[in-house]
Structure 1
Amino acid sequence: MGQGVGRPERRSKSLRLDGYQTIMTAEEEEEEEAAECAEDVAEKHSQKLKAICGQADLKNEAVGLYNIGLSCCLNSLLQVFFMNRNFTAILRRIKVPFDAVEQKQSVPYQMLLLLEAMQRGKHKSVHPTGLAKCLSEHRVRLFVLYDASQLFLILWNLIKSQITNSHLAESLADLYTIRLQEYLVCQKCLLETKKNSNMLMLPLPMFSHDSHRVRTLEDSLHCFFAPEHLTGDNMCHCKRCDKKTVCLQGMKVTCLPQTLTLHLKRFCSKHGNDTQKIGHYLSFPQNLDFRQILTREQYQPDFPEEGSGLYDLFAVVAHSGSARCGHYCAYIWSLMEHKWYCFNDSSVCQVSWDDVKCTYGHAGLRWSETAYLLVYRKKESAAAF
């Protein structure tokens, strides 16, 4: 759905106590020397690779990715990851797997190699073949129509699960995780039940609760966070009343991440399993202020700081075509050059904000290009790098 032609640390050398000696055969000595030599080579390669990738965001020229089999969705998401310096700062600090088989199966390592190829090569575009083969080992195959929101979650979870350093894995989680608190209030006895939850993206509706079209991102956020009365068949069991009662259900934000991903739910199922695309107009701003969009009850950060709710638009993953056959590309703001670029597989070109606004949508155009994923970056994080 939503896509078409265009989802062990290196073992440290053991310490030997003074006066303690071991007797080894010549064969064992050779094996140990060979192992130490291999470890040294791997360590040097790891340091060299990190040094190279540490310069990744210093190269001004944007590099494309070839479409190698309905991979426009994958290519667009990879560009959004790579252009985010908060993400590459984590990626270039990963521990390189020592074993060759592990290297081929490590998604973070293969992403690091691809980033190196993009930054060191002299070509305008590179083939993400190694990463694609690695992803196929994890059942993410080519020539499959992926939904960008689903593939983003698959990629992110693979990356996090394969980062062996717990501190880096936690940093990745902090970078993307939206922390919420859900609540349920019985309207008869006013018993309130709370539950904390985490999300990697907010799935925002294209229609309001009364089935009217949502025209702006701000209104879509209002709809998502609006409290809802659960009545009739949707009533919940109240422990105090010991029966099903009318309840008020809602949620509030307790922590917003540095990189905020918003999913515009433009694909919906109608008439059974038939999936259709919603192409109507929905505008989104270059800047967001959650203190202005949400109420004080809806936005209650655990650690409120000045400017903590301010965001700048960083990337737009746009979809053209229908739910059955289409194409993805990514509009991304260059943090180094302060310019918008369109990454359309191997084609990369500079664009204007007016070009990005064309992804607002147009219901009258069957092949209309519409924004599907919006990525915002917290203002202070942009200044920190």
Structure 2
Amino acid sequence: LSEPEQGQVGTGDCAFPPRLAPDDAWRCPHCQVLQQGVVKLSLWTLPDILIIHLKRFRQVGERRTKLSTLVRFPLRGLNMAPHVAKRSQAGSLYDLYAVCNHHGSMQGGHYTAYCRNSLDSHWYSYDDSAVEPVLEDEVSTRGAYILFYQRRNVIPSWSASSSVQGGPAPLPSALAPGDVLLRGAQAWPTQGRL
């Protein structure tokens, strides 16, 4: 993240830096002259699950500080086609399904998560034992640390969604309306059903 700590950037601004910094110059093997190089990173193939780790610290000398730059990332339609070596690969669109957040400093803090329920497409905040619904607009925060994307129109064989036929099994009678039942990686709002 090269923007000011309190600024705002998009994922395209920090994913693949276009130029090497002057102090990271590349030495030409033919003439031995230092050149300012251009970084070109490409993926050979795209995974079904794409995990993006946002570098949230800056190191100056021996001192490291946490960055709280707001990184705007797409919830739907992240296009990875420009970053693939084989441009003909189909299925380059990804949809966000979870965000791991870090609250605190470099010395310590607390982790929370926002996860999209694959059955009702709503977002939920997970903070220790507390689970609450959140609006889509609340998912992108200065605390975002790890982004979890799933390739569009692909359901991995290990996913709880791939084995669900017709929705969840009957709910236990001990749940009250508005409670959330967690089964594996899925959250099932009870919506008043007992």
Q: Does 1:289 align with 2:79?
A: yes
- Which one of the candidate residues 50, 54, 57 is aligned to 1:260? 50
Superposition deviation, residue 383 in structure 1: 9.0
1:314 corresponds to: 97
Question: How many residue pairs were aligned?
Answer: 156
Paired residues of 2:17 and 2:39 also in contact (CA < 8 A): no
Superposition deviation, residue 328 in structure 1: 0.4
2:167 corresponds to: none
Identity over the aligned pairs, expressed in percent?
27
Superposition deviation, residue 347 in structure 1: 1.8
The 1:279/1:225 distance shift into structure 2, 3 A limit, reads closer
Q: Does 1:220 align with 2:10?
A: no
Alignment of 1:77-88 (within 5 A): none
Q: What SS class does the counterpart of residue 354 from structure 1 fall into?
A: helix
The 1:373/1:248 distance shift into structure 2, 3 A limit, reads closer
Bigger helix fraction: 1
Q: What SS class does the counterpart of residue 250 from structure 1 fall into?
A: coil
CA distance in structure 2 between the aligned counterparts of 1:236 and 1:316, rounded to whole angstroms: 39
CA distance in structure 1 between the aligned counterparts of 2:84 and 2:98, rounded to whole angstroms: 24
2:147 corresponds to: 374
5+ residue gaps, structure 1, are: 1-205, 362-369
Paired residues of 2:8 and 2:72 also in contact (CA < 8 A): no
- What is the TM-score normalised by the length of structure 2? 0.66
CA distance in structure 2 between the aligned counterparts of 1:310 and 1:256, rounded to whole angstroms: 10
Superposition deviation, residue 323 in structure 1: 1.7
- Which one of the candidate residues 25, 30, 34 is aligned to 1:234? 25
Alignment of 1:1-385 (within 5 A): 206-207=1-2, 215-221=9-15, 224=16, 226=18, 228=19, 234-236=25-27, 238=29, 241=30, 243-244=32-33, 246=35, 248-270=38-60, 272=62, 274-287=63-76, 288-291=78-81, 294=82, 298-301=83-86, 304-305=89-90, 308-357=91-140, 359=141, 361=142, 370-382=143-155, 385=162
Larger Rg: 1
1:166 corresponds to: none
1:307-366 deviations in whole A, cap 9, x for unaligned?
x11010110001112222311011111112322121212222222213323x2x2xxxxx
The 1:316/1:233 distance shift into structure 2, 3 A limit, reads closer
Q: What SS class does the counterpart of residue 70 from structure 2 fall into?
A: coil
The 1:330/1:233 distance shift into structure 2, 3 A limit, reads closer
Q: What SS class does the counterpart of residue 96 from structure 2 fall into?
A: strand
- What is the TM-score normalised by the length of structure 1? 0.36
Q: What SS class does the counterpart of residue 73 from structure 2 fall into?
A: coil
Q: What SS class does the counterpart of residue 219 from structure 1 fall into?
A: helix
Superposition deviation, residue 229 in structure 1: 5.4
**Further displaced range: 241-250 or 347-356:** 241-250
Bigger strand fraction: 2
1:179-202 deviations in whole A, cap 9, x for unaligned?
xxxxxxxxxxxxxxxxxxxxxxxx
RMSD of aligned C-alpha atoms?
A: 3.1
The 1:271/1:356 distance shift into structure 2, 3 A limit, reads same
5+ residue gaps, structure 2, are: 163-194
Paired residues of 1:207 and 1:214 also in contact (CA < 8 A): no
CA distance in structure 1 between the aligned counterparts of 2:66 and 2:48, rounded to whole angstroms: 30
The 1:236/1:253 distance shift into structure 2, 3 A limit, reads same
Q: What SS class does the counterpart of residue 253 from structure 1 fall into?
A: coil
CA distance in structure 1 between the aligned counterparts of 2:53 and 2:151, rounded to whole angstroms: 17
Q: What SS class does the counterpart of residue 153 from structure 2 fall into?
A: helix
Paired residues of 1:340 and 1:350 also in contact (CA < 8 A): yes
